Amino acid sequence: MTIVEFLKARLDEDERASKAVPVGSRGRERALAEVTAKRGILQGYTEAHGASMRIIDGSGAQVEGDPWSELLAWRLAIKHLAAVYRGHPHYDPSWEK
């Protein structure tokens, strides 16, 4: 199981748990919004993985960026997302490296 697969499964669980909370509850809406935000981060990582980065500079010109820097930033973000689930039996401590 990859870290992305692990996180997708945990987010599916979080979404199901959030939907069990009564409609109109502030906690429910916040939890569902958090799941959506985390899925957006995962999507960004998935898209950045293996892609080159294009940057629009101050003059409006498009320039190539360092894809490794972007990928490392996304990787760091999903490692932090996964750390919330450290106690889960499918969590892989090697993801912390």
Backbone dihedral angles phi then psi of residue 36, each to the nearest 5 degrees: -60, -45
pLDDT tens-digit series, residues 58-84 = 666 555 566 667 777 888 888 888 988
Could you tell me the pLDDT band of residue 50, with boundaries at 50, 70 and 90? low
Q: Where do the structural domains in the chain lie, given as residue ranges?
A: 3-86
Assigned token pair, 10: 């945990």
Strand partners of residue 54: 64
DSSP per residue, 6-71: HHHHHHHHHHHHHHTSPTT-HHHHHHHHHHHHHHHHHHHHHHHTTPPPEEE-TTS-EEE--HHHHH
Q: How much is the average pLDDT of 31-43? A: 89
Flag whether pLDDT at 51 surpasses 90: no
Is the pTM higher than 0.85? The answer reads no
